[in-house]
Structure 1
């Protein structure tokens, strides 16, 4: 659903660009808690995985294809704020390096896929989890439904933008029906991929899944005297930072490289949902070549190696590694802000003469254990 240059007029492109910058800046500030749980490496790995899977278009019938958007998947794995950063990373690399999506439309793409997709997916997942049993396995069906609904929501967001600043006169009802119809079908593929990925990670490392690590049962502590203390799973002590092991990181990176550098060769050549609708309704002709079309990696092919399979494999590998680097860098900026904020809070008690409160805490904890 990458919007090309030419679909939206200049005011709409500028407006969505400002919106995307604001959403990214807010996410950099608000992602601190999520990144404090797992660190920036996981965010980078999720970004490069989504980049890789987006390269694999799957057929949906009638000469149309679809691909993973990834907003719901990112929200489930690393949280909604970090999810926006992940999607922004993917879309930036695609637009600037691979000429996938227009440069003037980058703000619109971040808004549609990186903000609407993440927010809707996250809200649906949380709503479903509120009624399902409190256990990590419940995340899988919740993620599937979040993925399913996030795609037509993103399609509807495009319709709204086109109604505001579309460059060709298209009946709004016709556009809405076409976009929602095709993207509901594409959403089924999104749901299947999201559920499969989340299921695999929940089965192996539920502590690394943002919405799953808070669904573990409360911990019962018993001291030598038989006194019991209940530690809630959502208490700070139960939310210790989950470690991304070299084995897990290597496995996810290897999978991303395999998909982006290998399975992408099997991608459907049919136009995706937005391209297909544009062709059928007549506004596809307003699309313009991206200013990044001269990039040596444009169209996911390393031009130095020609335009065959080797060039495509090389482009996929480079894209995965580049997205990983940008994702870790962007997330590290948010994590660095987190450490700075914590340092500021750490000196506040001393500045206000409240250091005595810290000395009394061990006694208070002990009292809690005895009363428990």
Structure 2
């Protein structure tokens, strides 16, 4: 659903840029709490979220390269807002998807640079906010189990995609550069993106379920949701004794193992599996072509990038060129994303440490 340059006029693009910048600023503040714990300490799980956040951004980048067929001549791909919000929190999730969109726009000419505000508003903010609100509402009424978290992830991701289609339609109604009836745009966008939402839901639920199965404490949306283990004693069910926390070194090693598996998976998906992705246009591209929305599309400012269109320039073999581009994209995204989240957490940690340091005379 990457909006290219020329779909939306300059005034509305500028307004969405301001909205996106404000949302990113708010997310930076919120992410400090998610990544660095509370102001009274750093023990609320942020120390586990920080290393995972960069990986989530890289994983979303990799999976977005895997277009899957949804209808005749149309494909879809992960948007990632629901996945990011549930794994690392809504504020950090907005930043994760925004980092991915920035890397795609600058390096791969995917999504217009003048439309970056539109894309962040639509693909990062809308999907993350809608998905997390739906997710939190569901986990409050469902049983407190891991399966419930996975099921809630499925529904939240499913609804987030047509919500993004609705927001794009609203933005187009305000600033579209072509004269296409909004009713036609709305029907086409929502219709195809409901189908794409099914794919988004499956990917999100499978990923969240896989992480919960290994390290439920790393899933932001699962914290405090698992019901206590029950034991039958004398014919009555009683709470089992709380498990002794694993040593810090063991937890750190386990986190590194999850991170290592995740980054290897992302590299394989982007570097190898992406070659077999659907070549059909995605939902927005198909609707834009069929309805004439793309009549005034302009050339991307990064069209001469050596990685444009997810292919390394001057590499003759298409499979190798695409695979190398995917690997480079994962590497750059994880480095940039991890750097951003490390800086955010460090900024949160320093004032907290200062509060615990006695004043000296």
Asked if these proteins are the same fold (TM beyond 0.5), I'd say yes
Alignment TM-score, normalising by the size of structure 2: 0.88
Query: Are 1:338 and 2:348 an aligned pair?
Result: yes
1:3-152 residue pairs with structure 2 within 5 A? 3-36=3-36, 37=45, 38-152=48-162
Structure 2 residue ranges without an equivalent (≥5): 37-44, 231-239
Cα distance in 2, alignment partners of residues 14 and 203 from structure 1: 43
Cα distance in 2, alignment partners of residues 214 and 90 from structure 1: 29
Give 1:63 shift: 0.5
1:261-300 residue pairs with structure 2 within 5 A? 261-300=271-310
Query: Are 1:174 and 2:181 an aligned pair?
Result: no
Look up the SS of the partner of 1:60 in the other structure.
strand
Look up the SS of the partner of 2:70 in the other structure.
strand
Aligned to 2:214: 204
Query: Are 1:161 and 2:157 an aligned pair?
Result: no
For residues 22-53 of structure 1, give each alpha carbon's deviation from its aligned partner in whole angstroms, at most 9, with x where no partner exists: 11111111112221322422100000000000
Give 1:146 shift: 0.6
Cα distance in 1, alignment partners of residues 242 and 344 from structure 2: 27
Alignment TM-score, normalising by the size of structure 1: 0.86
RMSD, matched Cα: 2.4
Look up the SS of the partner of 2:222 in the other structure.
coil
Cα distance in 2, alignment partners of residues 7 and 257 from structure 1: 32
For residues 293-338 of structure 1, give each alpha carbon's deviation from its aligned partner in whole angstroms, at most 9, with x where no partner exists: 1110000001032361111110000000100001101111210221
> Is this contact kept in 1: 2:49–2:218, CA < 8 A?
no
Aligned to 2:233: none
> Is this contact kept in 2: 1:47–1:89, CA < 8 A?
yes
For residues 155-203 of structure 1, give each alpha carbon's deviation from its aligned partner in whole angstroms, at most 9, with x where no partner exists: 1110111111110111111111111111001101111111111111111
* Structure 1 stretches of 4+ moved >6 Å: 230-233
Structure 1 residue ranges without an equivalent (≥5): 221-229, 352-372
Look up the SS of the partner of 2:314 in the other structure.
helix
